[in-house]
Homo-oligomer: A and B are copies of this chain.
Amino acid sequence: MKKAVVLYSGGLDSTTCMAIARDQGFEPYALSFSYGQRHTVELEKARQYAPLIGAQDHMVVDIDLRKMGGSALTDDIEVPKQGVQADEIPVTYVPARNTIFLSFALGWAEVLGAADIYIGVNALDYSGYPDCRPEFIQAFEQLANLATKAGVEGQPYHIHAPLIDLTKAEIITQGMSLGVDYGLTHSCYDPTAEGLSCGQCDSCRLRLKGFADAGLQDPVPYAPVS
């Protein structure tokens, strides 16, 4: 089996992405980041679930994006609860986050001798986040082949974004068909101290709508509406 590095947050998208990598014949090496995010519970879920869904190894890299700030996820900016605005970049955007994440994935891939990297960005993300768009993924793939010893020596990298054209409902349906247990994923940006999802942040709203559109019940527990 060929190795692939899978960017893996423990959330719905990256967990599905991991299952797809596996289904496509890769041995997944899961890569997570402790980057000063508010929702560290997602890392606990990631640690717990990675081996269960077949990750060969799981690396958690510590990087302190809080030093930089600039986002509701890493700075003292309130996470909005008013729902998604279609035509603006949300305050939960973290400057250069996916560029940083893919850079580490590239480094690890080179060390592992892997030529494939999976990232679970999708259409709903790239309506808001610039670093989730197809043209960003393509530009990173070009960069990867110029940046590395492996690329220079003729082992081209492939950045896979298998969810990029899928709706949340389609992602969930595909994940279910591959046996993903969504009860062991976490999406909320602003969970309670007990780890219950808030049900009101952008991420929860998108997730809940995805399950509703797919005609399914979301198995994760939500905090009672106050």
Contacts and interface: CB of A to CB of B under 8 A. Distances in A.
A62 B140 CA distance: 23
A21 to B, nearest CB: 19
Interface stretch (A40-48, A101-109, A176-184, A209-217): A101-109
Contact of A149 (B65, B67, B107, B130): B130
Chain copies in the assembly? 2
Nearest to A146: B136
A190 B107 CA distance: 23
A74 to B, nearest CB: 10
A93 interface: yes
| Chain A binding surface SS class | helix
Interface in A70-100: 70, 89, 93-100
Contacts of A106: 95-96, 99
Interface of A: 59, 61-65, 67-70, 89, 93-100, 102-104, 106-108, 110-111, 130-131, 133, 135-136, 139-140, 142-144, 146-149, 151-152
